Amino acid sequence: MSDKTRRVVSVLVENESSVLSRVSGLFAGRGYNIETLTVAPVPDTNRSRITIVTKGSQRVLEQITKQLHKLIPIHKVVEHEEMVEKEMVLAKFPITESLADIQALCDAYNGEIVNVGSDMIIGMAADEPIRIKHFIEASSRYNPIEIVRGGVVAIER
Amino acid sequence: MKMNGARMVCEALIAEGVKTVFGYPGGAIMNVYDEIYKQDGFEHILNRHEQASVHAADGYARATGEVGVAMVTSGPGFTNAVTGLATAYMDSIPMVVVSGQVPLSLIGTDGFQEIDAVGISRPCTKHNYLVRELSDLPRIMKEAFHIARTGRPGPVLVDIPKDITAEIGDFVYPNSVNIPSYKPTTKGNNRQIDKAVSAILKSKKPLLYIGGGVVLSNASDLVRKLADMGGIPAVETLMARGVMGHSNPLLHGMLGMHGNYSSNMAMSETDLVISLGARFDDRVTGKLSEFAKYADVIHVDIDAANIGKLVAVDYPIVGDVYGVLEKMISGLEGKIKPDRYANWREVLERYNTLHPQSYRDSDEVIKPQWAIERVGELLGEQAIITSDVGQHQMWTAQHYPFDRPRQWINSGGLGTMGFGFPAALGAKRGCPEKTVINFTGDGSILMNMQELITASEYKIPVINIILNNRFLGMVRQWQSFFYDERYAETDLSYQPNFKALAEACGGIGYDVTSKEEFDAALEDAIEKDRVAFINVAINRFENVLPMVPAGGALYNMLLDDQQEEK
């Protein structure tokens, strides 16, 4: 049963100081995997939303949901099935690379050039996680200096 | 009413009906102790180590069913309490621990006796709080007690910076709790319960698998009733000893690594496991793929995360065992008769006759099992029995004639040596009319022996029976079986004069080498009504049997002792 499934989980939590450590500590302590984790306040509430991408067997995924539910400041755990998910990436290229090529690349992945300086170009893309992976692969041709990847955010359809 | 935060803590404890607080003062908690000094709503017991304070609060909670309370200072006071928190957490014991913390302005500066208590205790508490505003304190105290005792119970830590306990504010203790994110499921789903009832009626070989949740839920009477209605055989986990009562013919005893043969065979052959407040611990199941291989599983547990965690469940029921059993019993009423599973019971009886729970007694030396059974004969239901961890714990679980829930107090999940003595103090304080016996070993007792002073000072006459084999016995047993008799660091022959040690601390000590001396010592200790050490020399190489080697299948048990006495 080494079949591991990828799962996106949204966790609605009380917006208090220790809640992120409760969630990440739970994953660490019980040996669950975290691929990405993003957290931000939910507008006009005192809650935050933590979006976690994880991987595990069915039994582990079930445990993750149940164990998260047990944490006192957690309101809701959503295991996404029908969802839109997006991830963002920033990439810095040397100014010697082709501005037009990079522009075209960013365009292809819902992005744009966000900054051009005397010695570098910064592009961004916002797309599905698998496409972000492709963007990173494609950008390797342009000798990226640095790539910064954000975590996944998801919303149920 | 205006008062400082320290007073608010005391007022909250009084409002919660707390009668006894176990603790140890220190810099960051001094404000609270100053208010404890001024009040007479509850008593404070000064243990001589914070770990003992938390175990004592734990023992109090296990014996009475109420929330145990302990109080410690910041830094080392708190870290000493961690083992106690973890012990209570693993066994789901309702407890509130209040710890001092450095002032808010010093948090994060590596201040004197500063440690991140909330960070450290997160994985070993049900919940924890760092109080940042005085105005939150009454609500947090109220929530702490609520969380500790509802749902799956557990310990809650309230960490309070020193400036908060000094600050003055308005105190109104809330009447109710409103935590929108915490609503434990207590009522089992009716349709699931109906399905479980049908499964019981279809089953030919059902088995009640009773766990500590039944004790926590005070559902023993209902379990007995369910068992009686259908004549359904039962096995108990370590934590559930006493639920069925030892003389109940339906009870096959404890199951698992040191369970008896018929219990483990029952689990191996049953076609329907009715799990009540048990969590399929590895010490119970042995090899998972062979565990209850032929059975469907009904799993009743208040913690949904326990269901399906280790064993696939056919009838999951999330809820309090008490309420679920009420519904199950009414569903079975009139449809089931006590002779229904007679054939199945006969099969199990034959297993029991084949390999009953037994030991070889001796005329030369006291066998630990004999000592335990002897206490059972003399005190029986009247005593509360605590234990430390190791061979003596297993022998006690196997051989003491437990008759009621909350009679047996031990650290099951965490397996904390040093638990027994302080837990006994707590149990005795909670149930002063009972005789409290702590079965312990020569290894375990030294891990909280400073409590002799506490017991003497507060006149808490618990009797520690040290089953002394001059070994760290359980580890020695594993070394004998699995490490080719290389007794690495388990020989405890170099040991204190236990009798003198007890007497040096105002208690009473006995050295016992014969059955007559044992009886005389026990009788005298009970009569003297003082804390006692009864140091019983037992044979050094006695093993706990039967035994399922770790990771083995329950039906493959080491039954008889091949070990030569040395």
CA distance B145 to chain A (A): 13
- A72 and B181 within 8 Å at the Cβ level: the answer is yes
Just list the catalytic residues of B.
50, 112-113, 162, 474
Q: Which residues pair with B275 in a beta bridge?
A: B209, B299
Phi and psi dihedrals of B330, rounded to 5? -70, -30
Rounded to 10°, the helix B50-64/B420-430 angle is: 50
The CATH number for A29's domain is 3.30.70.260
- B304 and A74 within 8 Å at the Cβ level: the answer is no
A7-17 pLDDT tens trace: 999 999 999 98
Residues B550, B410: Cα–Cα separation, whole Å: 21
Q: Are residues B394 and B349 in the same domain?
A: no
Q: Are residues A11 and A42 in the same domain?
A: yes
Read off the tokens for A22.
């409760």
- A62 and B118 within 8 Å at the Cβ level: the answer is no
Q: Which of residues 302-341 of B touch A (CB under 8 A)?
A: 303-305, 308-309
- A66 and B179 within 8 Å at the Cβ level: the answer is no
- A72 and B147 within 8 Å at the Cβ level: the answer is yes
Q: Are residues B41 and B120 in the same domain?
A: yes
> What does DSSP assign to residue B466?
E
User: Does residue B119 sit at the A interface (CB-CB below 8 Å)?
Assistant: yes
- Do the strands B383-387 and B435-441 form a parallel or antiparallel pair, or are they unpaired? parallel
User: Does residue B136 sit at the A interface (CB-CB below 8 Å)?
Assistant: no
Pick the last residue of a domain from A81, A110, A135: A81
CA distance A83 to chain B (A): 24
Let me know: does A82 contact A156? Beta carbons within 8 Å.
yes
Q: Are residues A108 and A140 in the same domain?
A: yes
B153: closest chain A residue by CA: A70
Pick the last residue of a domain from B170, B199, B223: B170
Identity of the residue in B181, B182, B308 whose CB atom sits nearest the CB atom of A62: B308
Q: Is residue B182 part of a domain?
A: no
User: Does residue B122 sit at the A interface (CB-CB below 8 Å)?
Assistant: yes
**Dihedral, CA of residue B270, residue B272, residue B277 and residue B278, to nearest 10:** 40
Pick the last residue of a domain from A24, A48, A81: A81
- B126 and A29 within 8 Å at the Cβ level: the answer is no
Q: Is residue B359 part of a domain?
A: no
Which residue segment(s) compose the domain that A76 sits in? 5-81
Peptide bond into B153 cis (omega under 30): no
Q: Is the model's pLDDT at A112 over the cut of 90?
A: yes
Q: Are residues B124 and B148 in the same domain?
A: yes
- A18 and B130 within 8 Å at the Cβ level: the answer is yes
Largest CA distance in chain A: 54
CA distance A148 to chain B (A): 29
| Residue length of chain A | 157
Q: Are residues B489 and B525 in the same domain?
A: yes
Q: Are residues A12 and A70 in the same domain?
A: yes
Count of Cβ atoms closer than 10 Å to residue B352 Cβ: 18
Q: Are residues A135 and A103 in the same domain?
A: yes
Pick the last residue of a domain from A63, A81, A99: A81
Identity of the residue in B118, B123, B181 whose CB atom sits nearest the CB atom of A14: B181
Residues A11, B425: Cα–Cα separation, whole Å: 43
The CATH number for B401's domain is 3.40.50.970
What pLDDT does residue A3 have?
Answer: 81
CA distance B29 to chain A (A): 22
Q: Are residues B166 and B258 in the same domain?
A: no
Which of chain A's residues have a Cβ under 8 Å away from the Cβ of B119?
A: 18, 21
- Do the strands A83-94 and A120-127 form a parallel or antiparallel pair, or are they unpaired? antiparallel
How many Cα atoms occupy the beta-carbon half-sphere of B559 within 13 Å? 14
Q: Are residues B244 and B214 in the same domain?
A: yes
Q: What angle do CA B94, B217, B63 make, to 5 degrees?
A: 55
Q: Are residues A75 and A98 in the same domain?
A: no
User: Does residue A131 sit at the B interface (CB-CB below 8 Å)?
Assistant: no
CA distance B54 to chain A (A): 22
Q: Are residues A72 and A10 in the same domain?
A: yes
Q: Are residues A12 and A76 in the same domain?
A: yes
How many Cα atoms occupy the beta-carbon half-sphere of A44 within 13 Å? 0
Q: Is residue B25 part of a domain?
A: yes
Residues B56, B46: Cα–Cα separation, whole Å: 11
A140-155 pLDDT tens trace: 999 999 999 999 999 9
A30: closest chain B residue by CA: B123
Q: Is residue B565 part of a domain?
A: no
Pick the last residue of a domain from B354, B381, B398: B354
CA distance B217 to chain A (A): 19
What pLDDT does residue B566 have?
Answer: 40
Q: Are residues B485 and B379 in the same domain?
A: yes
Q: Are residues B258 and B165 in the same domain?
A: no
Q: Is B340 helix (H, G, I), strand (E, B) or coil?
A: coil
Q: Is residue B564 part of a domain?
A: no
Q: Is residue B545 part of a domain?
A: no
Q: Are residues B347 and B382 in the same domain?
A: no
Q: Is residue B561 part of a domain?
A: no
Residues B413-446: b if buried by 16+ CB within 10 A, e if exposed = bbbbbbbbbbbbbbbbbbbeebbbbbbbbbbbbb
Largest CA distance in chain B: 72
What pLDDT does residue B565 have?
Answer: 45
Q: Are residues A56 and A104 in the same domain?
A: no
Identity of the residue in B130, B179, B305 whose CB atom sits nearest the CB atom of A67: B305
Q: Are residues B410 and B344 in the same domain?
A: no
User: Does residue B232 sit at the A interface (CB-CB below 8 Å)?
Assistant: no
Q: Are residues A9 and A76 in the same domain?
A: yes
Q: Is residue B546 part of a domain?
A: no
Indicate the residue type of A81: E
Identity of the residue in A13, A18, A29 whose CB atom sits nearest the CB atom of B118: A18
What pLDDT does residue A59 have?
Answer: 93
Choose, out of A16, A72, A75, A77, the residue to mutate when testing the contact with B (most B CBs < 10 Å).
A72
* Alpha helices in B458-514, H assignment, sequence order: 473-482, 498-504
What pLDDT does residue B306 have?
Answer: 96
Q: Which residues of chain B have pLDDT under 50?
A: 563-566
Q: Are residues B447 and B376 in the same domain?
A: yes
Q: Which of residues 13-42 of A touch B (CB under 8 A)?
A: 13-14, 17-18, 21-22, 25-26, 29
Let me know: does B86 contact B414? Beta carbons within 8 Å.
yes
The CATH number for A114's domain is 3.30.70.1150
Judge residue B539's burial from the number of C-beta atoms within 10 Å of its C-beta, 0-12 exposed, 13-18 middle, 19 or more buried.
middle
Domain count, chain A: 2
Q: What is the DSSP string of A57-123?
A: -HHHHHHHHHHHHHSTTEEEEEE-SSEEEEEEEEEEEETTS-HHHHHHHHHHTT-EEEEE-SSEEEE
Judge residue B486's burial from the number of C-beta atoms within 10 Å of its C-beta, 0-12 exposed, 13-18 middle, 19 or more buried.
exposed
Q: Are residues B340 and B380 in the same domain?
A: no
- A73 and B181 within 8 Å at the Cβ level: the answer is yes
- B179 and A67 within 8 Å at the Cβ level: the answer is no
Which residue segment(s) compose the domain that B482 sits in? 368-537
- B181 and A21 within 8 Å at the Cβ level: the answer is no
B144: closest chain A residue by CA: A72
The CATH number for B309's domain is 3.40.50.1220
Nearest Cα neighbor of B257 from B550, B565, B560, B507 is B550
Nearest Cα neighbor of B235 from B302, B280, B196, B192 is B280
Q: Are residues A71 and A91 in the same domain?
A: no
Domain count, chain B: 3
Nearest Cα neighbor of B250 from B268, B265, B237, B262 is B262
Q: Are residues A25 and A54 in the same domain?
A: yes
Total CB pairs under 8 A between chain A and B: 36
Pick the last residue of a domain from B354, B380, B407: B354
